[in-house]
Amino acid sequence: MPSLSNDFLHALRQCLGAENLLTGESECWNYGYDNSRRHSLPQAVAFATRHEQVLEIVRLCNQYQVALTARGRGTGTTGASVPLHAGLVLSLERMNRILRIDPDNRLIIVEPGVTNQAVQDAAAAHGFFWPPDPTSAAFCSIGGNLAYNSAGPRAVKYGTPRENTLGLRAVTGAGEELRTGTLTTKGVVGYDLTRLLIGSEGTLAIITEAALKLTPLPETKRTLRAIYVDIQTASRAVAAIMAQPITPCALEFIDHAALDMIRDYSDADLPQQAGALLMIEVDGSTASIDDAVESVRNAASNDGLLDFMVAQGKEEIAALWATRKALSPALRKIAPKKINEDVVVPVSRIPELISGLEKLAAQHAIKIVNFGHAGNGNIHVNLLVNPDDPAEMQAAQACLDDVFSLVLKLEGSLSGEHGVGIEKRDFIARELDPIALQLMQAIRRQFDPNGILNADKTLPATS
């Protein structure tokens, strides 16, 4: 590939200052990968600290025809922030200011490099929270949350970033600045560009500010655990819980293969006959919380229920969540380089998904462990493989192909919150019809006519 021109690098230094530009291979190396394990070395890394710098960088990349990849903290798992075409990585981690907190209007305005946890802490000081809560909240950035539409357990009740963002400031791939949305909870003027940009994985525009909609902190919360003999009865309980008036703020699922791993690698107290587990959280007012717990308990009770526990106090809450928290370390011990896919099916079809995955595991001789956000059918499918074994990886790819076919057969979607990036790019034509893909490609060209932003990601290549 051609090296970046001296004129381009000089212009970047003029824009950013030399301290905000990396060009050495060793300096740039860490900005060539994300949590997908893919890597591609960028030719330079720029650190913007203000909106105006992002605008100038995008215009320079258009002028000098340089590939541009925006990056938050690199916690994504699909390769969306890997610079496939080298060029310039634009890191937004130094754009980390909270610009405005407005409790009266329930909003906070932040730059993209602010971490999710920093937003939660700032909002909590005023009695609010921002509902999206990815597992990596302590480290991941708001810009990344928006780029992927990353949610987390609370999405079952409170929704994803798309439902919790009022408006954006951004720079398109053409180097034009725009504002989308409103600072009010109602507004129907024009097309909804805010929701379009959220989840677009940096292929249309680079977000430089976000107005986030805040929600009041609940007065209290209860943590519950339900253990079932098998996945079928657990899934029936999920459907019943979601059909009654009290929506839990978390409804997490762990299958029997995951429970076996937890038994082997932790001191978790689980009945030997446990075939599936639900972790449930209910929040609300102090006056109504006991009735809410009872409503969920009634819905969760069926012939397959082995044990139902309501945590009393912080120690019991920690003990209940210890089971779930033991899973990730166990997975890392067994398969540190596992394939982790997140798929979504209608809640009522979770049993068919898990049964189908068990058959695929046997067919391809690949161990599969499943857990995730049962309340909205978002299941994390983990293929425990060794990437250094070519035969096993070949079997895993065939298995993954069949997993995606199964999900679509069950009227599901290939990604719930991890995005598409590179990992699922070549499969999405199975889910989206040709007209939808054509319209999306046209929208992409409109935003980024020279194709400099995150090329060859998210959408399949046009013929």
- DSSP result, 133-162: --TTTTT-BHHHHHHHT---TTHHHH--GG
Banded model confidence at residue 135, pLDDT cuts 50, 70, 90: confident
Question: Do 186 and 267 fall into the same domain?
Answer: no
Q: Is it the case that residue 463 has pLDDT exceeding 70? A: no
Structural domain for 415, as ranges: 335-420
CATH number for the domain including 158?
Answer: 3.30.465.10
- DSSP result, 48-104: --SHHHHHHHHHHHHHHT--EEEESSS--SSSTTS-TT-SEEEE-TT---EEEEEGG
Question: How many domains does one find in the chain?
Answer: 4
Q: Is it the case that residue 63 has pLDDT exceeding 90? A: yes
Domain boundary residue, one of 294, 328, 362:
328
Residues 16-41 have pLDDT tens digits of 999 999 999 999 999 999 988 899 99
Question: Do 120 and 228 fall into the same domain?
Answer: no
Predicted local confidence at residue 334, as pLDDT = 80
| Alpha-carbon gap, residue 181 to 172, rounded angstroms | 15
User: Is 413 exposed, middle or buried (CB count within 10 Å of its CB: 0-12, 13-18, 19+)?
Assistant: middle
Residue 335 vs residue 65, higher pLDDT: 65
Q: Is residue 450 part of a domain?
A: no
Region of poorest pLDDT, from 6-10, 35-39, 67-71, 359-363: 35-39
CATH number for the domain including 291?
Answer: 3.30.70.2190
Q: How far is CA 41 from CA 25, 81, 88, 341, 430, in A?
A: 8, 12, 10, 25, 31
Residues 85-94 have pLDDT tens digits of 999 999 999 9
List CB contacts of 291: < 8 A, sequence separation 6 or more.
Answer: none
Question: Do 232 and 304 fall into the same domain?
Answer: yes
Region of poorest pLDDT, from 78-82, 103-107, 135-139, 281-285: 135-139
What percent of the chain stands above pLDDT 70? Answer: 100
Structure tokens at 301: 């009770």
Report, as an integer, the average pLDDT of 207-221: 98
Q: Is residue 13 part of a domain?
A: yes
Question: Do 293 and 372 fall into the same domain?
Answer: no
List CB contacts of 135: < 8 A, sequence separation 6 or more.
Answer: 152
Q: Is residue 462 part of a domain?
A: no
The reported pTM is 0.94
Q: Is residue 118 part of a domain?
A: yes
Question: Do 180 and 253 fall into the same domain?
Answer: no
- When the pLDDT of each residue in the chain is averaged and rounded to a whole number, the result is 94
Report, as an integer, the average pLDDT of 324-339: 79
Question: Do 392 and 293 fall into the same domain?
Answer: no
Question: Do 211 and 229 fall into the same domain?
Answer: no
Residues 220-263 have pLDDT tens digits of 999 999 999 998 999 999 999 999 999 999 999 999 988 988 88
Q: Is residue 452 part of a domain?
A: no
Q: Is residue 457 part of a domain?
A: no
